[in-house]
């Protein structure tokens, strides 16, 4: 007696004509795969640029704070010298 688990699903049976490729179908598949790979690489590059830009922004912000601190100190010294 055969069990249901012993029978392959009906959707695994294909007629040979269903498995043939139409002209250009493989090229379209390859092109689509290349495009999706290219898009993935572009996305990785974008993320890298955004991350790098963010890191540069933080570094520039720290640098600006140091410059502002130095300018404030010099302005205070000049102001005190003018008063004395």
Q: Report pTM.
A: 0.36
| 5 pLDDT tier (thresholds 50, 70, 90) | low
Q: Which domain holds residue 63?
A: 33-84
The per-residue pLDDT for range 67-78, each reduced to its tens digit, is: 999 999 999 998
The span from the CA of 19 to the CA of 62, in Å, is 62
Do the domain assignments include residue 78? yes
The span from the CA of 57 to the CA of 49, in Å, is 12
Do the domain assignments include residue 51? yes
Q: State how many domains the chain has.
A: 1
Do the domain assignments include residue 20? no
Question: Which pair of structure tokens corresponds to residue 56?
Answer: 């540069």
The per-residue pLDDT for range 6-63, each reduced to its tens digit, is: 555 555 454 445 556 677 777 777 777 777 777 778 878 788 777 777 778 888 888 8
């Amino acid at each position: 007696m055969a069990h249901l688990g012993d029978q392959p699903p009906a959707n695994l049976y294909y007629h040979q004509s269903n498995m043939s490729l139409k002209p250009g179908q493989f090229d379209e598949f390859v092109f689509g795969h290349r495009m999706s790979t290219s898009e993935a690489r572009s996305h990785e590059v974008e993320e890298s640029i955004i991350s790098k830009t963010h890191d540069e922004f933080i570094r520039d912000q720290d640098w600006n704070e140091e410059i502002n601190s130095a300018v404030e100190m010099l302005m205070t010294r000049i102001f005190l010298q003018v008063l004395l």
